[in-house]
Structure 1
Amino acid sequence: MNKINIDTEQDIQKAKKKALIVLALFPLFLIVFIPYGIYWVYFDMSHLPKEKVLTESTSPDGIYTVKVYLINGGATTAYAVLGELSFNQERRKPKYIYFNHREDYANLNWLDNDTIIINGHKLEVPYETFDYRRD
């Protein structure tokens, strides 16, 4: 009878430890995944619906190509323009360098091998970006 009480007490202690671990990990889960969810919904441009390519331009030295897409967010939002920089001589994934709302056109002009003007915004590629939500 005494052994049964000891086993039950040990089981209770184990259950308390497991509950404490779960309660300690839950806030950590919230701290990690809620900010990522906010980033994914509001700032991650990889899931935007690229309606069509408006224009495309390659840098004078052929290292970069910029494709500009028209983004249609639906009936309640204005059109937007998304610029994507591709690296022609490196195996790197494309980088989004331009995002502006209330636009449905794209004017691209290379000033030199690393400087492009997109709709009046001068960018040094591949380092600078323009995003109306941040700039």
Structure 2
Amino acid sequence: MKRINVDRARGLRRAMTDVERLLWRYLRNRHLSGWKFRRQHEVGHYIVDFVCAEAMLVVELDGGQHAELVDYDEHRTQYLHSMGYRVLRFWNNDVLANIESVLEVILEAVASPAPHPSPLPIGERGLGMPESEK
């Protein structure tokens, strides 16, 4: 699959906001309990702020402009969910005021198993007693 936003992602990495730089200091080089994060990375046709592909987790930082982009952000989140990603969103103020709590939430999310992106219908999940014990 051809990556269409490579140049744009590179530009965003060069022009990171102060809040993105702050969080990146804690996520880069596997600083967060060995989890690998990428910044300004293309996922589908979007560029996400941070992603841990192994945990299928996207971390988005929202500034004041996102108060006006609720519908766009919701559509984007639904798209990422359809691709199997979980999405965490933090307001810039939360990152600036309480980075430790933000990191704790991210660590809890990467450490917990992600649900399957398209679970089987109830009758096909294999829940309950194994066939041999029925």
What TM-score do the two structures reach when normalised by structure 2?
0.26
Larger radius of gyration: 1
More strand by share: 1
Larger RCO (CA within 8 A; separation ≥ 6): 2
What TM-score do the two structures reach when normalised by structure 1?
0.26
